[in-house]
Amino acid sequence: MTAPPLHLRTIRSIDEIDATAWDACANPQNPTGLLRSRVESTDEAADSLSEKETFNPFICHRFLAALESSGSARARAGWAPTHLIVEDEAGTLLAAAPAYLKSNSMGEYVFDHAWADAYERAGGDYYPKLQVAVPFTPVTGRRLLVADTARADEARTTLIAGLAALREKTNASSTHVTFPTRAEWEALGDAGWLKRTGKQFHFLNRGYADFDGFLAALASRKRKNIRKEREQALASGVEIVALTGAAIEDEHWEAFFDFYIDTGSRKWGTPYLTRAFFTTIGQSMPERILLVMARRAGRWIAGAINFIGDDALYGRNWGTIEDHPCLHFELCYYRAIDFALEHRLARVEAGAQGEHKLARGYEPVETFSAHEFADPRLTRAIEGFLTQERQHVEAEIEVYGEHVPFRKG
């Protein structure tokens, strides 16, 4: 007997979907979000870069709801929630894609400004476009969220086809799935989407017992440089504390938001996240947050926020109101490594870009995105560009890999 067809539906707020049902799609192997995965060996650390399904905090209902309810991800900011869901005949949620109708290309970290400019010079309208992503979050994770059911494959196929239908329905020029897993990237490629690659720098826990164990694996000069940087960060009487869970109080959020606003305003003009966002996540998912704060002479002066996954620590935002040598490296990179090693996490993902991370023990890894366009002329033009770009990224990662700071032999 043939099963009834599945149904596609668009929702304008993630709060229209029950949180438990969403999370069963987002993190099907660990919908409760309880920490469970730990590195046991060097091989397991390497395996963590594969398609193991572990809890990702950014695609859970709590995080996405915080972005929307706080006004961070909203139409006025260029991110109009347009989530696509797949349901069975009984209305049970089987799959979902966190999708947004975009009126700009800000906060995405996979850059397509040149595509937009070229298309609009040729007389086309690049905006609106459809973005399947976690706003303001360049972290690889599942984007085709499919519950672990007997109809999972059918639901995934329906979801991919539904994205093209949603693009047509919204009169969008294109659809962009950014920072998906490799398996999703391949599946989208098989469905005719254009495939793009990028790179980031991640710290990989190769079974180190502690920070000294990590340093022992480095070349002597690099090891000495890191020790010197850590000393310099504290040289002006700076004290650093790491806070998680209930230890993070409103005074910490208030100070951190000041750092975030100050640094963000100087770097890119308009910071994306609102003050309400930090209050909301502080209340809804405190056990998934690591806030590293620095103070001097009794005053908070800098901070970095990280999110805790099952097998990874994700560094996201940082800010400071005082300039101290190497303080950024200490708060964002070295303290993150400390935490990951102490809690036996497999890796630290420290965000987009940053070749300077290489000298501090972070290694180059590949990232992915997939793209689909309404205009076949734009498809042809970008397809040729992406073929060359993928080759360039592959060569670049290989070169970076030859310059990692670890001892040879």
What is the distance of C-alpha 344 from the center of its chain?
20
For the residues of 276-301, what is the DSSP string, one character each? HHHHHHHHH-GGGEEEEEEEETTEEE
122 vs 366: CA distance, rounded Å: 32
Q: For position 393, what pLDDT does the model report?
A: 97
Residue 21 CB partners (closer than 8 Å, separation 6+): 92, 93
Token reading at 1:
């007997």
398 vs 306: CA distance, rounded Å: 28
Q: For position 41, what pLDDT does the model report?
A: 43
Statement: residue 154 has pLDDT above 90: yes
Q: What share of the chain is helix, strand, coil (3-state, %, to 5)?
A: 40, 25, 35
Q: For position 152, what pLDDT does the model report?
A: 96
Statement: residue 197 has pLDDT above 80: yes
Task: Read off the pTM.
Answer: 0.93
Q: For position 45, what pLDDT does the model report?
A: 45
Region 98-121 average pLDDT: 96
Q: Which of 334, 352, 319 is nearest to 203 (CA)?
A: 334
Q: For position 268, what pLDDT does the model report?
A: 57
Task: Tell me if residue 334 falls in helix, strand or coil.
Answer: helix
Domains of the chain, start order: 7-199+365-401 (3.40.630.30), 202-362 (3.40.630.30)
The H or E element that residue 204 is part of is strand 194-204
- The position carrying tokens 């340093």 is 215
Compute φ and ψ for 345, nearest 5 degrees. Answer: -85, 150
Q: What is the pLDDT of residues 231-244, one digit of tens each?
A: 999 999 999 999 99
Return the top range by mean pLDDT from 3-17, 252-266, 348-362: 3-17
Helices 61-69 and 19-26 cross at an angle (nearest 10°) of: 120
Interior/surface letters 176-190, b for 16+ CB within 10 angstroms, e for the rest: bbbbbbeebbebbee
Q: Is 304 exposed, middle or buried (0-12, 13-18, 19+ CB in 10 A)?
A: buried
Q: pLDDT class for 382, splitting at 50, 70, 90?
A: very high
Number of Cβ within a 10 Å radius of residue 58: 24
Q: pLDDT class for 351, splitting at 50, 70, 90?
A: confident
What is the distance of C-alpha 141 from the center of its chain?
7
The H or E element that residue 251 is part of is helix 250-268
Query: CB of 98 within 8 A of CB of 83?
Result: yes
Region 6-18 average pLDDT: 97
Q: For position 353, what pLDDT does the model report?
A: 76
- The position carrying tokens 């190769």 is 206
Statement: residue 227 has pLDDT above 70: yes
DSSP structure class, residue 70: T
Region 124-130 average pLDDT: 97
Q: Which of 245, 278, 264, 255 is nearest to 70 (CA)?
A: 278
Number of Cβ within a 10 Å radius of residue 155: 25
Q: What is the pLDDT of residues 32-89, one digit of tens each?
A: 555 554 544 444 444 444 445 578 999 999 999 999 999 999 999 999 999 999 999 9
**Geometric angle at alpha carbon 64, from 71 and 168, rounded to 5°:** 90
Q: pLDDT class for 28, splitting at 50, 70, 90?
A: confident
| Positions of E strands within 40-191 | 79-81, 83-87, 93-97, 99-102, 129-132, 145-146, 174-178
Q: Which residue has the higher pLDDT, 69 or 28?
A: 69
- Sequence letter at residue 135: P
- CA dihedral 116→122→127→128, nearest 10 degrees, is -130
Q: Which of 289, 306, 347 is nearest to 52 (CA)?
A: 347
Q: Are strands 194-204 and 363-373 parallel, antiparallel or unpaired?
A: antiparallel
Query: CB of 14 within 8 A of CB of 92?
Result: no
Region 352-374 average pLDDT: 93
The H or E element that residue 303 is part of is strand 299-308
Mean of pLDDT over the chain: 92
Residue 384 Rama label (left phi>0; alpha psi -120 to 50; beta): alpha
Q: pLDDT class for 267, splitting at 50, 70, 90?
A: low
Q: For position 50, what pLDDT does the model report?
A: 41
Statement: residue 125 has pLDDT above 90: yes
318 vs 39: CA distance, rounded Å: 27
Among residues of the chain, what percentage have pLDDT more than 90?
Answer: 86
Q: For position 52, what pLDDT does the model report?
A: 54
Statement: residue 279 has pLDDT above 90: yes
The H or E element that residue 363 is part of is strand 363-373
237 vs 215: CA distance, rounded Å: 24
Q: pLDDT class for 308, splitting at 50, 70, 90?
A: very high
